[in-house]
């Protein structure tokens, strides 16, 4: 692959250029705010399709939904990209109770972790509480065998960005069952990866290492977890649980792709993920990213923008439990010898956009930082080095010199909703969603104008 050459903003006619940009970006925002379709599209995805875990009937319906909607906008090309994806189902039984020495019993708010095995009927075990993975790894098989491990790590409230707290707790969900399985525990329950103290359990992905004893894993609400921690200080606690979730054979699924042709075939791609967890409606995660991505392309077409490069919007499948959409997309792009110069992702909710995080060289960060002058009029202020996104990240392996951007979004409330029954359309603010769509369109436009 040819090394991509980045040119900084055209300096010869900087002033008039910036003015043109400013006028065009203002038009993008006017279209998004006055005649925007992102909110209605999100409503339709949430209410007409619903929660859409990979491999489900709803995921298939979401693919049809996306293809039909993209076709309705008359882009140059709309097509499905075939991929293989995992298929896990929650089943119909999901319940747990804790019982203390006094015989007090509490039914827990739980959700199986995505990918968990079934309990094969009602199981029961003494709870052994540890805070985090490091503490669990210090235990021996004698400590843990046949017990139910409770990982109680809570969000660090001091982090300004809640995603940092999420990242710090991620191992208890992703690795808890695996580490406890090595020590022949009976099951794992975790404190939900969540900001508030409430009664919503948060599901999410976990994985089993090849050859390790597969044990069930579930998340309980933060309120339950706080109580269980208190009970454990007072004496022995028994936990009973039943779940009949199951992993099935992989199935065929699709990324949904739309394109607007450019003056050359270099590609600027962007997207969000079309799949969600199987609870709630996947409104913030990541219906919002889907709505942003489709709306950005609709606006650019509506404004009759003629891009320099090929613009490609991708509705990725299977971000939540396998990332086969993102991985396959990158591999296929490489096999086809496509030239990817930029990728942008929205997967942090439908809240207020605040800027863009840039995964790239210092020069690329500086390039994006230039846009601050234009975008601060639209209350986008934060342009700094950071992570692009899970779906676009696999492209880096094949296109190490490309620029990747993750739309930065107010994170304060995200982990109130993330992966819960509460992630529904009603919790997305219309204007904040529209501003996200406009921010994405503006950044696509600026990258298209300024990347060679």
Q: State the residues that interact with a second copy by CB under 8 A.
A: 29-30, 33-34, 157-158, 160-162, 195-196, 352, 354, 376-379, 381-382, 410, 412-413, 416, 429-432, 435
Q: Which residues contact 378 (CB under 8 A, 6 or more apart)?
A: 25, 29, 435, 438, 439, 442
Residue number, 21 or 391, with CB nearest to a second copy:
21
Residue number, 162 or 255, with CB nearest to a second copy:
162
Buried b (16+ CB within 10 A) or exposed e, 343-368: bbbbbbbbbbbbbbbbbbeeebbebb
Give CA torsion, residues 220, 221, 225, 227, to 10 deg: -120
Q: In the bound complex, what is the minimum distance in angstroms from residue 129's beta carbon to a second copy? A: 22
Buried b (16+ CB within 10 A) or exposed e, 140-158: eeeebeebbbbbbbbbeee
Buried b (16+ CB within 10 A) or exposed e, 320-339: bbbbbbbbbbbeebbeeebb
Q: In the bound complex, what is the minimum distance in angstroms from residue 413's beta carbon to a second copy? A: 5
Q: In the bound complex, what is the minimum distance in angstroms from residue 16's beta carbon to a second copy? A: 24
Give counts: helices (H), strands (E), the chain. Answer: 15, 16
97 vs 140: CA distance, rounded Å: 26
Q: Which residue has the tokens 């079934």?
A: 118
Half-sphere exposure of 306 (CA within 13 A, CB side): 1
Residue number, 109 or 434, with CB nearest to a second copy:
434
Residue number, 29 or 445, with CB nearest to a second copy:
29
CB 346 within 8 Å of CB 272: yes
Residue number, 255 or 416, with CB nearest to a second copy:
416
Q: In the bound complex, what is the minimum distance in angstroms from residue 158's beta carbon to a second copy? A: 5
Residue number, 33 or 332, with CB nearest to a second copy:
33
Distance of CA 388 to CAs 146, 188, 240, 391, 395, Å? Answer: 41, 32, 41, 9, 11
Residue number, 246 or 431, with CB nearest to a second copy:
431
Q: In the bound complex, what is the minimum distance in angstroms from residue 34's beta carbon to a second copy? A: 5
74 vs 313: CA distance, rounded Å: 13
Buried b (16+ CB within 10 A) or exposed e, 93-110: ebebbbbbeeeeeeebbb
Residue number, 231 or 414, with CB nearest to a second copy:
414
Give CA torsion, residues 222, 225, 227, 229, to 10 deg: -140
Q: In the bound complex, what is the minimum distance in angstroms from residue 351's beta carbon to a second copy? A: 8
Residue number, 141 or 156, with CB nearest to a second copy:
156
Q: Which residue has the tokens 């609400």?
A: 221
207 vs 145: CA distance, rounded Å: 20
Q: In the bound complex, what is the minimum distance in angstroms from residue 87's beta carbon to a second copy? A: 36
Q: In the bound complex, what is the minimum distance in angstroms from residue 210's beta carbon to a second copy? A: 40
Residue number, 52 or 298, with CB nearest to a second copy:
298
First to last CA, the chain: 15
Q: In the bound complex, what is the minimum distance in angstroms from residue 418's beta carbon to a second copy? A: 14
212 preceded by cis ω (within 30°)?
Answer: no
Q: In the bound complex, what is the minimum distance in angstroms from residue 217's beta carbon to a second copy? A: 28
């Amino acid at each position: 692959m040819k090394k991509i050459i980045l040119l900084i903003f055209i300096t010869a006619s900087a002033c008039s250029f910036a003015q043109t940009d400013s006028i065009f970006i203002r038009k993008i925002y006017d279209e998004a705010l006055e005649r925007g379709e992102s909110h209605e599209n999100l409503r339709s995805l949430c209410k007409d399709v619903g929660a859409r875990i990979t491999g489900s009937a709803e995921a298939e319906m979401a693919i049809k939904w996306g293809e039909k909607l993209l076709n309705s906008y008359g882009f140059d090309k709309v097509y499905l990209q075939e991929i293989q994806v995992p298929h896990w189902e929650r089943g119909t039984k999901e319940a747990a109770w804790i019982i203390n020495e006094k015989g007090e019993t509490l039914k827990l708010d739980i959700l199986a972790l995505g990918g968990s095995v079934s309990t094969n009927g009602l199981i029961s075990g003494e709870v052994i509480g540890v805070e985090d993975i490091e503490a669990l790894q210090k235990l021996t098989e004698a400590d843990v065998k046949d017990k139910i491990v409770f990982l109680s790590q809570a969000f660090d409230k001091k982090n300004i960005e809640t995603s940092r707290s999420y990242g710090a707790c991620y191992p208890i969900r992703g690795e808890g069952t695996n580490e406890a399985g090595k020590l022949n525990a009976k099951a794992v329950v975790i404190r939900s990866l969540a900001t508030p103290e409430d009664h919503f359990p948060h599901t999410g992905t976990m994985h089993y290492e090849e050859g390790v004893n597969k044990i069930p894993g579930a998340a309980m609400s933060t309120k339950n977890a706080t109580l269980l921690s208190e009970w454990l200080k007072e004496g022995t606690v028994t936990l009973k649980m039943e779940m009949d979730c199951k992993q099935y054979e992989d199935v065929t699924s699709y990324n949904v792709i739309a394109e607007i042709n450019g003056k050359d075939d270099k590609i600027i791609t962007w997207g969000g993920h079309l799949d969600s967890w199987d609870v709630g409606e996947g409104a913030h995660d990541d219906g919002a990213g889907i709505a942003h991505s489709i709306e950005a392309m609709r606006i650019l077409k509506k404004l009759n923008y003629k891009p320099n490069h090929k613009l490609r919007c991708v509705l990725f499948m299977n971000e939540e439990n396998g990332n086969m959409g993102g991985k396959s997309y990158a591999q296929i792009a490489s096999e086809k010898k496509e030239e990817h110069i930029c990728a942008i992702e929205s997967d942090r909710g439908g809240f207020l956009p605040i800027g863009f995080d840039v995964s790239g060289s210092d020069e690329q960060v500086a390039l994006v930082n230039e846009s601050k002058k234009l975008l601060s009029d639209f209350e986008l202020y934060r342009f700094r080095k950071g992570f692009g996104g899970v779906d676009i990240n696999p492209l880096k392996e094949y296109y190490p010199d490309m620029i990747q951007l993750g739309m930065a979004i107010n994170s304060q409330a995200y982990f109130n909703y993330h992966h819960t029954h509460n992630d529904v359309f009603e919790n997305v603010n219309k204007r904040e969603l529209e501003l996200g769509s406009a921010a994405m369109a503006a950044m696509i436009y600026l990258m298209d104008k300024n990347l060679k």
